[in-house]
Amino acid sequence: MLIPTNKLLKLRLKPSHVLKQSVSMLSSFSLPFPPNQTVSSASVDDTISRISPLINQPNWEQSNPLKLLVSHIPPHAASNVIAQYSHNIELGIRFFRWVCKQSTHCYDLDSRIYLLKLMVCRGLFVISHKAMIFLIRECSNGEDEIMKLMDAIENMREIGFRLNYPCYSSLLMCLAKLSMGSSAFSVCRRMVDDGFVLGVVDYKSIINALCKNAFVQGAEMVLSRVLRVGFDLDVHIYTSLVLGSCRKGDLVEAFRVFDIMSEEDGCNPNSVTYSILIHGLCETGGIDEAFRLKEEMSKKGCQPSTRTYTVLIKALCDIGLTDKALCLLDEMAMKGCKPNDHTYTVLIDRLCGEGKIEEANGMFRKMLKDGLFPGTVTYNALINGYCKDGRVVSAFELLSSMERRNCKPNIRTYNELMEGLCRVNKPFKAMLLLRRVVDNGLLPSRVSYNVLIDGFCREGQLSMAFNIMNSMDTLGIEPDCLTYTTLIDGLCKQGRPEQANGVLGLMMKKGISPDEVTLTALIDGYCRNGEAGTAFMLFERMVDHRRLMSPHIFNLFLHVLSKQIRVNETNAMLGKMVKYGLAPSVVTYTILIDGLCRAGSTRHSLNILTLMKQVGCLPNVYTYTVVIYGLCQQGRVDEAGALLFKMSLLGLSPNHITYAILVKAHVKAGRLDCAFKIVRAMVKSGSQPNSHIYYALLMGFVMSGKATNEGAISSLGGLGANSSLIMENDDDYVSNHVFREMDVDNAFELLDKIKECVGSTVDLYNLLVMGLCKVGRMSEAGHLVQDMHFCKEKNFDYCLEFIKLIFNNVILGLRKEGKVQEAEKLVSDLLRYADVDEKAAVSPYIEFLVKEDEPYEFLEVLKLVEQMHQNERPII
């Protein structure tokens, strides 16, 4: 029955036009034949004769002798077996599917296509058509694979093979699933040219494919054909049109079609329709309206699906409302709607982005408990989280888990691991990871090389960074703006701005325009080198070329001037910034406050805090921390403490630096009790003391002991309440002197106090033991280790943390002394304590991480990658 005329008018169908966005489906493709088989013809004939009787037996697919026979059967032999069953189509196609999964020759797509071509050459068209449907479905997960199969179809047309209607229909469904609208339209035209009449299912596939690519006009053209041949419009077609309008960004049109569906005589929208509209609203920032639509669909008896919830959860995660997203996950469970792997992946990725690794890991375990199998994307998200947190060993354990579950890592997996290694200052290890990339048949990407270049630049290994860039040229991977910017920044940080300027020239010669970050890095290099004049010339060039997009470059100049306490010039630069139409940011104000504090003008810095609130640029934790530091430097510790309290009232959480400044200030003033009050406040707010705070507190006990026992610390004579020891960069001094001269009773006093304030003392034990070992006081360190009563109290997690903290140092020390067996035993013990299931799987990665760097390997790795690129596949 035709759709009513008023509905036709509402849909505003346009006249037919040829789609501009169409690509040729069937380009000529010459399928390469596999190399000559080494198996003799007689041997193949014998294998075929042994196979034939076996596949006539019941449950032949489970036959181990048959599996052994076909494990290395070449495609031409498989086609001979299939030819013997041309009279038994069902058995022939069953064998085709089975041999594609059992034979090493027929496993990849090229060999499967080759086998199909041999069957076509033998005239086995009926079996070939069924085999073609099987291959189309097998290719439905990747655009490259389906395009390769389509090229092969065109190639086989030359020998008389044509797709039948089921093949065409399956191909259209596959293309719709892969959002390949232009290709689907081209297949449709070829289908008509071959004399087939399209069914309603085919029209639905084409419309859906075009709408997924936002080709709404093309979809409407096909829709007009649907109406002319007398087919009804159903919810599937309407929903596709809603999708097309959403993909096009035209939500008004999407809701217009939705309203037509919602009319009494229309097709009621289903959960898919609602989910598409909700996704469209979320994409344009209309999250509140999206939630209202979710409530509306429930009222109309259409329950939100897993996709509906997942879309909303992702939208909440994208704007940082993770708690609300987790509440939505709970709502799903209450309504009996089970999350899928994508739902969990979205949450895991967000939790990792927030640094909540344990929560992300808990979500991962819940996913496994629900019977879901994490894919590569899920693993990559969690690996990225661990790497950003500096927990590279855990990231490699996840890699091992991926491999055990037959989840193949992709190049992004290795990029994340390489970046993680670079974060913990191990770029050489990241470089060696390229070998594992090659072993897995992957090629490094531009991202891989940029990660490595950045890692080596951070470590000051610029020669290696340039070697890697040269290797990119060899592989035909063009360096981009980020590559050159990283090298320019690395050179500038080494005080070599002139060479960095040369790299800038090379970059521009290759047609790559520097962006604001590139020029800012170079200006920073000249400023660091004391060449402010050259820096200002570059700045003027940025102004001329209108590359000033943010106040960052002004902040850089302001920072330099503030450090030199050049107040008048600082104010002039601030005026110039406003002149160019750039509003000062919170960073700008923080730099100005820092400069005033350095000049001893804390009163003016407090005035700027007030000004920031007036202009709507609220101070952040760093702004307050700078003021607190300035007050402490002037001995106004009580005022600094009051400002800390004020921060909390404003909803700002002080960070470790803020607390450390106050703790050090109280210790310096001889007010150890006040320092511990700050520590208690810190723990109450959810933060834990770090090494800087422990060092300051330890110094407090040392100074306290000196006051009651003059001369006990001979090498620290003159140390008192106003000593300059408790300064911003005192950790090295404490490590080199305090651990050498302190009384071990100071350590036990501090441990008792920290246990009272914090609860956990594992980090402090580690700091004390490592510090005493560093200065050669092994007996006292051993005494402390014996005192560690974690395991006696069954706090095994603390024991494991302690082992992990000293693991790398001990392993490397043993290796340097040639004690390889002792190092390997320690690795084995660590895996046992950590309750690792597959020690054999994880051990190679642990070995890789703790193995001492051998520089000669790195250039060999680069050569191996280059060789792989030339051969297209690795030769390992």
pLDDT at 554: 81
Confidence of residue 480 (pLDDT cuts 50, 70, 90): very high
Choose the weakest-confidence range: 121-130, 581-590, 814-823.
814-823
pTM (2 decimals)?
0.69
Torsions phi, psi for 805 (to 5 deg): -65, -35
Confidence of residue 4 (pLDDT cuts 50, 70, 90): very low
pLDDT at 31: 37
Measured CA to CA in angstroms, residue 202 lies from 49, 71, 192, 265 at distances of: 43, 38, 12, 25
Contact criterion met (CB below 8 Å) for 487 and 469: yes
Running DSSP on this structure, what letter comes out for residue 477? Answer: -
Running DSSP on this structure, what letter comes out for residue 735? Answer: I
Measured CA to CA in angstroms, residue 615 lies from 375, 378, 592, 603, 747 at distances of: 48, 43, 15, 19, 49
Q: What percent of the chain has pLDDT over 70?
A: 79
What is the residue extent of each domain of the chain?
Answer: 22-31+44-162, 682-780
pLDDT digits (tens, 9 = 90+) for 593-603: 888 888 888 88
* Average pLDDT for the chain: 79
Measured CA to CA in angstroms, residue 119 lies from 7, 609, 860 at distances of: 50, 80, 45
Rounded CA gap, 322 and 338, in Å?
19
pLDDT exceeds cutoff 70 at 847: no
Check residue 164 and give left, alpha or beta (phi > 0: left; psi -120 to 50: alpha): beta
What is the b/e burial string over 755-788, where b = at least 16 CB atoms within 10 angstroms of the residue's CB? eebbebbbbbbbbbbbbbbebebeebbeebeeeb
pLDDT at 23: 28
Choose the weakest-confidence range: 170-174, 369-373, 527-531, 829-833.
829-833
DSSP, residue by residue, 553-578: HHHHHHHHHHHTT-HHHHHHHHHHHH
Contact criterion met (CB below 8 Å) for 397 and 840: no
Q: According to DSSP H, which parts of 229-321 are helical? A: 235-248, 251-262, 271-283, 287-299, 306-318
Confidence of residue 722 (pLDDT cuts 50, 70, 90): very low
Residues 6+ apart with CB under 8 A from 509: none
Average pLDDT (284-306) is 90
More confident residue, 781 or 373: 373
Alpha carbon distance, N-terminus to C-terminus of the chain: 64
Burial class from Cβ neighbours inside 10 Å (0-12, 13-18, 19+) for residue 569 reads: middle
Greatest Cα pair distance in the chain: 106
The H or E element containing residue 192 is helix 181-193
pLDDT exceeds cutoff 70 at 9: no
Average pLDDT (605-617) is 86
pLDDT exceeds cutoff 80 at 406: yes
pLDDT at 385: 93
Rounded CA gap, 567 and 524, in Å?
20
* Nearest residue to 169 via CA among 139, 210, 137, 123: 137
pLDDT exceeds cutoff 80 at 121: yes
Residues 6+ apart with CB under 8 A from 322: 316, 347, 350, 351, 354
Contact criterion met (CB below 8 Å) for 638 and 605: no
